[in-house]
Structure 1
Amino acid sequence: MSKLDSARLIYVMGPSGAGKDSLLGFARERVGAHVMFAHRYITRAMGDGENHIALTHDEFASRLTHGLFAMHWESLGLRYGIGIEVDAWLARGVPVVVNGSRQHAQAALARYPDACFVHIDAAPAVLAARLARRGREDARQIEARLARKPPFELPSHARVVRIDNSGLLADAGARFLSLCEGTMP
């Protein structure tokens, strides 16, 4: 296999409620088949509009043991993985979008040093309202989640694009779409 072109990797991350799945869906519907959107493998049932493949904890452990994840992490009692197909796509020069994690960004940067990291965020009131609509947590849990929002930093050499998704999806979506199409600086 040829060398990975990690500059073609777009690693999306941000806090819960920032609208990552909405932006990914917006771009996926418009960008065409020349960009691959990696599936996330998660130890959570399907639902809430998130594009992922549900695995049991045993299935996840088996895939991990067999080296089938290019990236993996744990968060809030769940396990997340990105399949090794991402490396095959990058080796063939295909742009790839990954729905990642801020906590895993340093490890992703080490593996994909030329990747573009896209940090999606929204105003605290917008995050709180979206989390409440989702219905997974009560008001106290949402407040605790927002209070523990970790600061996000990557080394200065990392390519980081920040997108505020507090307003209309079409506005943030157009900016993210231009990045996926390679037209954003």
Structure 2
Amino acid sequence: MKAGQLYYVMGPSGAGKDSVLTWVRQHGVAHGVLCAHRYITRPAAAGGENHVALSEEEFQLRERSGLFALTWQAHGLHYGIGSEVAHWLAHGADVLVNGSRAAFARACERFPALQPVLITATPQAIAARLAGRGRENEAEIAARLARASDYAVPEGSMVIHNDGCLAEAGASLLQAIRAAHQAA
């Protein structure tokens, strides 16, 4: 059986990565694509992505027990991708994971054949989305925009622009995955 492909989705805050992945989760199964949940030490009711909420103690127990394929920390939270992803890939499933730009090098070590996917948007769109969330002040938004502009896109990345219609960005991602799958 041919192994599945891991699509490691990343992007700056405000690019709409979670929204694109939610759209793909609703439409991608028809295309044979699975979206893995992230395990996060953030309450389930906190909003944002559909994730598995864990206490810090449970996260650490799962990490010590080897139940994560990949973990990282950001913004005071712990994030994990479950080890079930490796099982799904071994059984031929194509899987999207919501990754982190900071954890990309570790993800490449763990999954050398992964396909990087960058969800991005114009600085104006990102700034408007961040301001709309109301979690950061102007200086913090400016710092996020600076980090986004300094980020070197990994070679071979699929780049999905999410400036307009969410369905267009989601469909572009599914189309890029379909094209890569057919070329393989």
TM-score range (shorter-chain normalised) is: 0.7 to 0.9
Distance 1:71 1:37 in 2: 15
How far apart are 1:171 and its partner, in Å?
2.0
Q: Is the 8 A contact 2:28 2:34 kept in 1?
A: no
How far apart are 1:37 and its partner, in Å?
1.0
CA deviation map 1:126-169 (0-9, x unaligned): 11110111122222322222223341343x4xx31111112221
TM-score (norm 1): 0.88
2:173 to 170, 173, 176: 176
Match of 1:144, as an amino acid?
A
CA deviation map 1:57-86 (0-9, x unaligned): 111111110001001111121110000000
Q: Is the 8 A contact 2:22 2:49 kept in 1?
A: no
- 1:160 maps to which residue? 157
Distance 2:34 2:165 in 1: 25
SS in 2 for 1:106: helix
- 1:151 maps to which residue? 151
1:43 to 38, 41, 44: 41
SS in 1 for 2:71: strand
User: How many pairs align?
Assistant: 178
Q: Mapping of 1:1-185 within 5 angstroms?
A: 5=3, 8-32=5-29, 34-46=32-44, 47-149=46-148, 150-154=150-154, 156=155, 159-180=156-177, 182-184=178-180
Match of 2:28, as an amino acid?
V
Aligned residues with identical type, % of pairs: 49
Distance 1:37 1:93 in 2: 14
Distance 1:8 1:134 in 2: 33
SS in 2 for 1:24: helix
Match of 1:42, as an amino acid?
I
TM-score (norm 2): 0.88
RMSD, matched Cα: 1.9
In structure 1, the gaps of 5 or more residues are none
How far apart are 1:35 and its partner, in Å?
2.2
Q: Is the 8 A contact 2:24 2:174 kept in 1?
A: yes
More helix by share: 2
Distance 2:125 2:153 in 1: 22
Runs (4 or more) in structure 1 with deviation over 4 Å come to: none
CA deviation map 1:17-55 (0-9, x unaligned): 101111111111112263221110111122323111111
Q: Is the 8 A contact 1:102 1:152 kept in 2?
A: no
Q: Is the 8 A contact 2:12 2:144 kept in 1?
A: no
Match of 1:38, as an amino acid?
A
Match of 1:62, as an amino acid?
L
